[in-house]
Amino acid sequence: MIDEPYRWLEAVQNRREYIEDRIAGGLPMVVIAGTPGILLIGPRASTPKIFEIYDRLALGCLGHPADLERVRQAAIDAAHVEGFTRSPHDVTARRLVNYSLGPALKNAFEQILAAPLLFRGLLAELQADTSAAADNIWILDYDGTWRTAAGPDAARGCLVVGDKQKQAAWEKLCAHPAAHTADAAHPPAPRFPEGPATTLPELAGRALRILGFALSPGHGRGDSAAEIWASVPSDVAELKRLVLSESHGSLEAALLDRTLLRPGAAVTFRPATLQELAIA
């Protein structure tokens, strides 16, 4: 099969379709950076989807639990060996993704005779200095592609979701952050709040809105991304009801807490309660 280029392409294409099909039902995961830290939040599934990787690194993901485990374990192994042989400061998301996870995921994807990895995830990195502007979020996919969101993009929030159309709709929305208006006299209204969220409830509110977008049924009716976004309630109480009803009544949330940063190595990852997020 390998020595026939056409069949190899076909096999890769089939593989992509198979994976997309298998993860289509994957629950959304939102990662968003703000002044208190980086919040990872998603509907609580039967298995955990948010994991601590290293002192300032956390992974939120969707896919097959066994595959998530594999990727998570590879990331933890690589981070700890690096942190031990060099120093915890040398463990960066950029190196982890560029030189370890990305190539490994691509390699696994292209080994067409082995079972594919069902994985899509967000790797969050809290910066050692204290500004939210320096935080990074890496979007990683099963085929080894990655993108990074920093500064305003990280403060706006990042979403991964199993549904291909929904994911595409979100990317489109992010590419055009301002809503078009018919009236030329008024400048286009920004869709997302300006600047990083300064409190945990505000951070959670923004994350809930993105989760609401991912969970809203608009696509079934053929609505555009902008229409779905506009239809998502902005009121937290209403959002809460929407998200909780769509996510079996519970959320999984964790925080890379900026207040836990110390000059040396320090664990910044901690579970976030719905009380402190003002969601309960």
Partner 1 sequence: MMTPHLPALAAPVASGPASSFSGDFFDLLRRTGTSPFPDAAALSRAGGAPGAVTIGHSPSLSAEATTVISFHFRDGVVIAGDRRATAGHTIMYDRADKVIEIDADTVMAIAGTPATAFEMARTLAHSFQYYRRSQLQPLSLEAKVRALGRLIRENLAMTLQGVGMVVPILAAQHRPGLDAALGAGAAIPPTLYFYDALGAQFLAVDHAMSGSGSPAARSVLNYINRWSGKLARERDEREAIALALQLLEVAAETDTATGGIDRRTHIYPQVKVLTAPGGTRDVSVEEMREVLPGI
- By C-beta, is 54 or 192 nearer to partner 1? 54
CB of 28 to partner 1, least distance (A): 22
CB of 95 to partner 1, least distance (A): 7
- By C-beta, is 125 or 202 nearer to partner 1? 125
Q: Which long-range contacts (CB under 8 A, 24 or more apart) does 20-24 make?
A: 20/164, 22/64, 22/118, 23/62, 23/63, 23/64, 23/118, 23/119, 23/120, 23/142, 23/162, 24/162, 24/163, 24/164
CB of 130 to partner 1, least distance (A): 22
Q: Name every residue whose Cβ is closer than 8 Å to that of residue 51 and which is 6 or more positions away in sequence.
A: 58, 59, 60, 61, 68, 72
**Cα separation, 225 vs 221, whole angstroms:** 12
Provide the 8-state DSSP code for 197: B
Within 10 angstroms of residue 218's Cβ, the number of other Cβ atoms is 19
- By C-beta, is 84 or 238 nearer to partner 1? 84
| CA angle in degrees (0–180, nearest 5) for 267-96-269 | 20
- By C-beta, is 103 or 177 nearer to partner 1? 103
CA proximity to 121, closest of 206, 213, 27: 27
DSSP SS3 for 18: helix
Taking a C-beta distance cutoff of 8 angstroms, is the pair 190, 177 a contact?
yes
- By C-beta, is 11 or 74 nearer to partner 1? 74
- Structure-token match 């809460």, residue found: 240
- E strands, 142-217, where? 146-150, 158-160, 178-179, 189-190
CB of 84 to partner 1, least distance (A): 5
| CA angle in degrees (0–180, nearest 5) for 58-235-216 | 65
Binding site for partner 1 (CB under 8 A): 48, 51-54, 67, 69-71, 73-74, 76-78, 80-86, 95-96, 99-101, 103-105, 107-108, 111, 114-115, 117, 267, 271
- By C-beta, is 14 or 234 nearer to partner 1? 14
- By C-beta, is 74 or 230 nearer to partner 1? 74
CB of 152 to partner 1, least distance (A): 30
- By C-beta, is 11 or 76 nearer to partner 1? 76
